[in-house]
């Protein structure tokens, strides 16, 4: 069957631990995917370190404060207030006063192994931080009512899962911060 739409973008994550690639689900998650791709094109993620790595759970990334691998503010930052992002088929939108986007609770995509999912601090608080699931964390699904957690999935690793697993096994301190920094050198659209 032929599809009358653009193929989903592939994003290349070039880290100090190696490279992995992910498909971004623009077809099912245009708001979240559009926000992410806009940040990638703005080089927002280049130079940021993974600030939270928990074995058999996930790798968290995308806080601008984590350009300093040991920043005590890592995990608290996001895009600039009111900054613009592009949503396919809609056009330009502005992030909220704290740099967040609306939760996109539409497609029921589970937080399975290798998926990219929005980090947040409650409803409508997602911005630039996301995590890569290293196990199936279904309790994080917005449509799973076993917990209050609601993390929309917007992509999935399609190559380099060995690199994801390598980062996952990085020794961390008591705050789940890698003892040996893992930096994202560049994130680009393929």
Q: Which residues are catalytic?
A: 52, 57, 60, 120, 131, 140, 151
CB atoms within 10 A of CB 3: 7
Question: What is d(CA 109, CA 32) in angstroms, rounded to the nearest whole number?
Answer: 13
Strands (E), 62-189: 84-87, 91-94, 115-118, 130-133, 153-159, 184-189
Q: How far is CA 144 from the centre of its chain?
A: 20
Question: What is d(CA 29, CA 26) in angstroms, rounded to the nearest whole number?
Answer: 5
The DSSP-derived string for 10-65 is EEEEEETTEEEEEEE-TTT-HHHHHHHHHHHHTTTTTTPBP-EEETTTEEEE--GG
């Amino acid at each position: 069957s032929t599809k009358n739409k653009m193929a989903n973008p592939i994003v290349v994550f070039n880290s100090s631990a190696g490279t992995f690639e992910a498909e971004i689900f623009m077809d099912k998650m245009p708001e979240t995917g559009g926000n992410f791709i806009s940040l990638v094109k703005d080089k927002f993620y280049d130079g940021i370190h993974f600030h939270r790595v928990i074995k058999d759970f996930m790798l968290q990334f995308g806080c601008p404060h984590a350009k300093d691998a040991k920043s005590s503010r890592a995990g608290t930052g996001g895009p600039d207030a009111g900054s613009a992002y592009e949503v396919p088929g809609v056009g330009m939108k502005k992030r909220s006063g704290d740099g967040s986007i609306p939760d996109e609770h539409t497609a029921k995509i589970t937080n399975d192994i290798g998926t990219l999912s929005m980090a947040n601090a409650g409803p409508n608080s997602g911005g630039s931080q996301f995590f890569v699931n290293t196990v199936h964390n279904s309790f994080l699904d917005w449509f799973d009512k076993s917990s209050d957690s609601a993390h929309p999935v917007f992509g999935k690793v399609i190559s380099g899962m060995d690199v994801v697993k390598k980062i996952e096994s990085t020794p961390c301190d008591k705050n789940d911060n890698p003892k040996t920094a893992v930096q994202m050198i560049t994130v680009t659209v393929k």
